[in-house]
Structure 1
């Protein structure tokens, strides 16, 4: 059985959501953020030296990083339509968006969130870059979702799990204003039963 090391208010929700969608058995070990620093407490570092969530343990393996864990779980699922058939157009869309979530989009979204949490006097060197990247990325996302229901086309896939969680972080940083397609998409994702079961873990 897969053990998920889940940190509250973190991207490890992706892994719980994926397992719920696949109806796979799993167990959860909870880890809490430090109330002052908002970082993971040392218990997570005792599992993996990076001290980050998500982490899974399965068949004597410990794996960190959302994208790698998603692929591992899909490889071990008995049946799944959450990853399109390799070689198809939908597969390469799926692959692009899975990497986009933690590649292009995560840096400007999380940097923007962190900048909102600190006291700042005047513009900083990163401000222009972050603003440019956010506009570019979010416009690309909104345009894509105006043409298709999901990121890999008309079928829900694990790419939607990867993208939803980072888009929720963007939403919490008030970065989704005037992005109607993203707002519609998030509402659809949050209505999924498996998503709601995963979110119940905190």
Structure 2
């Protein structure tokens, strides 16, 4: 059985969500962040040297990194609407957004969250870079969702699972107030049964 090593307030929520969407059997081992440092506990390092989530264990296979875990789980499920068939019209759109989440969007969103923990004047080069990248990324996302119900087209896919985690973090920081299509998309996504179950893990 697939074991998900879940760290609270982490990307491992994506894994539980996808497993629920796929209907695969799994079990969850919970790990709690240190309340002062917010770092992962030693128990997670015993599972994977990086001590980061998500980590899944399935027999002799231990994997981290969200994108790799997503692909592994999709392979275990076989044919699924959550990953368009290679050669389908929306296949490469699916791939683009699956990788966009961590390849483009993650750095400015996470950087903004971290830098927001301290008082800043906003006049440092990193501040200008983050503002520029967030505006560029959010505008691109908004344009996509203005014309499509989901990131890969008209069907929900694993790309939506990848993208939503970061977008919800941005929404919580009021970064998306000027992006109505993105907010409407998130409102719809947050009603999915599998998402709500994954969210309950914290």
Instruction: Give TM-score, length-normalised by structure 2.
Output: 0.97
Assess if the C-alpha contact under 8 Å between 1:14 and 1:165 holds in 2. Answer: yes
Residues 60-87 of structure 1: CA deviation (Å, up to 9, x unaligned): 1110000000000000104421000102
In 1, the alpha carbon distance for the partners of 2:88 and 2:98 equals 16
Distance in 1 separating the partners of 2:183 and 2:132: 21
Local SS of the residue matching 2:159: helix
| 2:131 counterpart residue number | 131
Tell me if structure 2 keeps the 8 A contact 1:112–1:173. no
Paired residues of 1:4 and 1:26 also in contact (CA < 8 A): yes
Cross-structure match for 2:152: 152
* 1:45, distance to aligned residue in structure 2 (A): 0.9
2:174 aligned partner: 174
Tell me, in whole angstroms, the C-alpha distance in 2 between the residues paired with 1:145 and 1:121. 33
2:56 partner SS: strand
Distance 2:44 2:24 in 1: 23
**What secondary structure, in the 3-state scheme, does the structure 2 residue paired with 1:89 have?**
coil
TM-score, with length taken from structure 1: 0.97
C-alpha distance in structure 2 between counterparts of 1:106 and 1:69, whole Å: 17
Residue aligning to 2:29: 29
CA deviation map 1:34-56 (0-9, x unaligned): 10111111111111011100000
Contact 2:90 2:153 in 1 (8 A): yes
Q: CA deviation at 1:59?
A: 2.2
Alignment RMSD (CA, Å): 1.0
The runs of 5 or more residues in structure 1 that have no matched partner are none
Cα displacement (A) at 1:121:
4.3
Residue 186 of structure 1 pairs with residue 186 of structure 2 = yes
Aligned to 1:20: 20
Q: Which residue of structure 2 aligns with residue 103 of structure 1?
A: 103
Unpaired runs of 5+ residues, structure 2, are none
Partner of residue 88, structure 1: 88
Check the 8 A contact 1:5/1:53 in 2, yes or no. yes
Residues 53, 64 of structure 1: 8 Å contact kept: yes
Contact 2:122 2:128 in 1 (8 A): no
Structure 1 residue runs of 4 or more that deviate by more than 6 Å after TM superposition: none
Query: Judging changes above 3 Å, is the alpha-carbon distance between structure 1 residues 120 and 194 closer, same or farther for their aligned structure 2 residues?
Result: same
Aligned to 1:52: 52
**Aligned residue number for residue 77 of structure 2:** 77
Show the counterpart of 1:143: 143
Q: Distance in 2 between matches of 1:62 and 1:100?
A: 24
The structural deviation recorded for 1:4 is 0.2
Partner-residue secondary structure (3-state), 2:4: strand
